[in-house]
């Protein structure tokens, strides 16, 4: 069963406030009964139903910096990753490694190729 989205959660809570049983709400929202029960429980405990922060290391570059990396490499295909990291360090006063540049280019270039090769 799919997760409840940010839009679905208030709808499920509205159905619960309309005195519908958890089983009926779960059928209408196509979610597990436990999911609806925990949603109601979290609302009572924290007064919010928004997503909690996830664990993981924060990214060292923003989406805008990632786009600039790809744009620089599209303009100069022979630019090395280490040269690009030096250029980013000079422009943004932020140190990023050549491996970070390679990872960003591999993920963003894949997205770029997928968008440009789609039939129109």
Q: What is residue 73's predicted lDDT score, i.e. its pLDDT?
A: 81
How far apart are the C-alpha atoms of 11 and 4, rounded to whole Å?
10
How far apart are the C-alpha atoms of 29 and 23, rounded to whole Å?
10
How far apart are the C-alpha atoms of 2 and 87, rounded to whole Å?
43
- 114 or 51: which carries more pLDDT confidence? 51
User: Smallest Cα–Cα separation from 29: which of 46, 6, 11, 47?
Assistant: 11
Mean pLDDT of 51-73: 84
- Residue 82 sits at the vertex; the CA angle it makes with 79 and 88, to the nearest 5 degrees, is 85
**Residue 109 banded pLDDT, cuts 50, 70, 90:** low
Q: What is residue 2's predicted lDDT score, i.e. its pLDDT?
A: 63
- How many Å separate Cα 62 from the centre of its chain? 13
Report helix, strand or coil for 29: helix
| pLDDT per position as a tens digit, 10-48 | 999 999 999 999 999 999 999 999 999 999 999 999 999
**To the nearest whole number, what is the mean pLDDT of the chain?**
84
């Amino acid at each position: 069963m799919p997760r409840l989205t940010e839009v679905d959660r208030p709808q499920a809570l509205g159905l619960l406030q309309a005195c519908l049983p958890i089983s009926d709400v779960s059928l209408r929202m196509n979610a597990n009964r436990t999911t609806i029960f925990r949603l109601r429980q979290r609302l009572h405990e924290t007064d919010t139903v928004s997503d909690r922060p996830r664990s993981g290391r924060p990214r060292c570059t923003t989406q805008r910096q990632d786009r600039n990396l790809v744009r620089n490499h599209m303009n100069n295909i022979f630019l090395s990753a280490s040269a690009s990291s030096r250029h980013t360090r000079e422009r943004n006063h932020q140190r990023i490694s050549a491996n970070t540049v390679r990872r960003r280019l591999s993920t963003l270039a894949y997205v770029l190729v997928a968008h440009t090769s789609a039939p129109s």
